[in-house]
Chain A
Amino acid sequence: DTGVSQDPRHKITKRGQNVTFRCDPISEHNRLYWYRQTLGQGPEFLTYFQNEAQLEKSRLLSDRFSAERPKGSFSTLEIQRTEQGDSAMYLCASSFFVGSSGGAETQYFGPGTRLLVL
């Protein structure tokens, strides 16, 4: 098991460009989360999937953001028309959730993708 991987690790783009990030979760994990982390803050929840279904989206996720997990395995997060305020670390996490456990899930994080919008 290689853990959660994210690609790319770093991305520099110009304002107005579109960017796409990829996350590969731990195999057989059914939940996948995206977070955004800015300097000096803890991770902030953006959205999560259970299998291929996107179950919740934060109000932080504006219309310019879209996430997919088409086959219930890897996920992509796309930001359209990037703004300087989008500069942050984007973290992905995965977990194996079993409803009968009462929600005792543990999220495992990837190394993150650091985005800089110039």
Chain B
Amino acid sequence: AQSVTQPDIHITVSEGASLELRCNYSYGATPYLFWYVQSPGQGLQLLLKYFSGDTLVQGIKGFEAEFKRSQSSFNLRKPSVHWSDAAEYFCAGHSGGYQKVTFGIGTKLQVIP
């Protein structure tokens, strides 16, 4: 089945440290990939997306993600985490056309002082 997998359910980092959240995908064709962030009780906010072209994509709030076809990965990174980044992060994707988006289980990020 076409899907995305987030292997880390919960991650804790210190404020100011770097962050990498993992996402692996399984799509036959080149996928369309997204990262969303969700604060408690809120909807999902789009951080960034990859459709084609440059494999390093920049998003909002200082986030970036790199598409690596050889590893079937689309990991989210941020060089220095702020306390306000504490939230749940969802990787999502689809294979284009009329295929629906599927979401990973989410990674909950905790930021400690």
How far, in whole Å, are A111 and B39 apart by their CA atoms in the complex?
A: 10
**Max chain A Cβ within 10 angstroms of own Cβ: one of B34, B45, B101, B104:** B101
| A1-59 at interface with B (beta carbon < 8 Å) | 4, 6, 33, 40-45, 48, 55-56
Closest to B101 in A: A107
Mark the stretch among B14-22, B62-70, B74-82, B91-99 that contacts chain A: B91-99
Are A104 and B98 in contact (CB-based, < 8 A)? no
**Is A85 at the interface (CB under 8 A from chain B)?**
no
Main secondary structure of the interface of B (DSSP, over half): loop
| B26-43 at interface with A (beta carbon < 8 Å) | 32, 34, 36, 41-43
**Is A91 at the interface (CB under 8 A from chain B)?**
yes
Are A114 and B41 in contact (CB-based, < 8 A)? yes
How far, in whole Å, are A108 and B92 apart by their CA atoms in the complex?
A: 13
Are A45 and B43 in contact (CB-based, < 8 A)? no
Are B103 and A42 in contact (CB-based, < 8 A)? yes
**Is B58 at the interface (CB under 8 A from chain A)?**
no
Q: Which chain B positions have C-beta within 8 A of A112?
A: 41-43
A97 to chain B, nearest CB (A): 9
A59 to chain B, nearest CB (A): 13
